[in-house]
Amino acid sequence: METKSQTRICVPVCEKDVGAIGQAMASAAADADLIEIRLDCLDPLKVEEAVEKTGELIAGSPRPTILTYRPAEQGGHRDLDTKSRLNFWLFRRRTTPAFYDLELDIAAHAALFDHGKPLDWSRVICSHHDFQGLPPNLSQIYERMTQTPARILKIAVQANDITDCLGLFSLLDKARADGREMIAIAMGMAGFATRVLGPSRGAFLTYGSLQEERATAPGQVTAAELRKLYRIEKISRQTLITGLVGLPVGHSISPHVHNAGFEESGIDGVYLPFEVKDLGSFMRRMVHPRTREIDWNLRGLSVTAPHKNAVISFLDWVDPAAQKIGAVNTIVIDAGQLSGYNTDAGGFDKTLTDHLGELRGARCAVIGAGGGAQAVVYSLRQKQAHVTVFARDVGKGKLLAERFGATCKTIGSERFAGFDVVVNATPLGTSGTQEKRAPAMAEQLAGARLAYDLVYNPRETVFMREARAAGCDVIGGMEMLVAQAAEQFRLWTGVSAPEDAMRSAAINALKQ
């Protein structure tokens, strides 16, 4: 069995003066294996002073260091041409960091470093960055880098869709076959998988910021998250991989929920956010076992907006309930086949039944006509509840109601007295621009028995507060989130999910 590669996390330190660099280096020690000192971040008026003290910074560093002097076009903070940077490095050869990061245009002048004290090229990282996207000549760039004497090669490119990760993973495989050390990063949320899975696929290191607001490249998460949330040092080529497919996905707390489940259950698995624009390309090139271009132990996927409906056409088998709902939120990959399920309906049914018991004949109002409403209306009608869909888009609402034998009304100043259940299946109340809004206020909810908000972030929404003020029992979206995630976990692993641990992780994530 193939052994796992060594995992190294490098924390970049990007500060304007020496004092701040020293403080940041001390803070980085908790989660860093290496610390990158970004000299290009220094105040231009303080560069010489700082460089004079570089030796002290390196000597006092709690972790091995990388020195970097990055130009703006390569992601740096200063306009620096090749000549000025070349002169800079020629006079810094006597510093003794663990590594120097030299861009390809500098490393290509290797012969100039042979005069005087030669540069130890075993300590050089030859790097190239492209913030526009995946360059069509990626393999040629790699070959040019192999012509330098640098021991380690680094390529970081902007990922405009998740399939751009394939080029970086291929580079890691090629470098291993060539006997070269390689760092390959796809920047941006779409490239996130390369940051977490890179070390297990042979990457020399990966990068994690000291704090979220101190990220030095798009898509960079904190070193603490890499260690504690994604448990990066435990990932190998055999690790079971799952993840969330959607656009966007960066806001989701599902990685907290499922990774806590893996940790609590002692399962060698990881759950990642997969930002997908072109669903067809992703399913063909990275997911389906018959056509995918990457060797990985992909076991299952959660699916969220906007792909819950479209993904059905790429599956080999769809659970009858999911077919009736018209939406899949869970994919299981097994025996070369993709199977689709909808655990939203089951999660909703479980939590509501736990609170109300028998639902036959219950009067239920569902506000909204989107993907969440589809699963809710289906679930309620399966229990033979009477359902009224309230929608601003009456046409959409009528289509949903007619599919499942419900009725439809326009939402406005409707009062819900006499309803056993009122469900908010709209985004109103979600953290962000919608947070202060609610689909119904206390005076409208007065006389209803129970209000159920599918929104889980924040935990206490305006709708929930208004419902309490109206005297209603209340269920928040957290319960459905955990219940549907627990069923996903069971489908992927074959074992019961540790719901308490998953719920605690979700609650803690919302507190951050």
Is residue 342 within 8 A of residue 321, CB to CB? The reply is yes
Task: At 414, give phi and psi (nearest 5°).
Answer: -60, 140
Apex 116 CA angle, 114 and 119, nearest 5: 50
In 119-191, beta strands by DSSP E: 124-130, 152-158, 181-187
Catalytic residue of the set 174, 308, 350, 409: 308
Using alpha carbons, list the distances in angstroms from residue 240 to 95, 103, 167, 268, 269: 43, 36, 22, 6, 4
Token couple for 363 = 């009067």
154 tagged catalytic: no
Q: Residue 199: count other Cβ atoms within 10 Å of its Cβ.
A: 24
194 near 222, Cβ under 8 Å? no
CA dihedral 92, 93, 97, 100 (to 10 degrees): 90
Length of the chain: 512
Distant-in-sequence, close-in-space partners of 148: CB < 8 Å, separation ≥ 6: 104, 107, 108, 110, 121, 124, 126
Q: Are the C-beta atoms of 334 and 389 separated by less than 8 Å?
A: no
Rounded Cα distance, 357 and 347, in Å:
15
Helix 254-265 vs helix 477-493: crossing angle, to nearest 10: 50
Q: Pairing between strand 337-341 and 363-367?
A: unpaired
**What is the distance between the alpha carbons of residues 249 and 219, in angstroms, rounded to a whole number?**
12
Distances (CA, A) of 179 to 107, 153, 237: 19, 11, 18
Spell out a b/e string for 408-428, using b for 16 or more CB atoms within 10 Å of the CB, else e: beebeeeebeebbbbbbbbbb
How many C-beta neighbours within 10 Å does residue 87 have? 11
Any idea which residues carry the catalytic annotation?
308
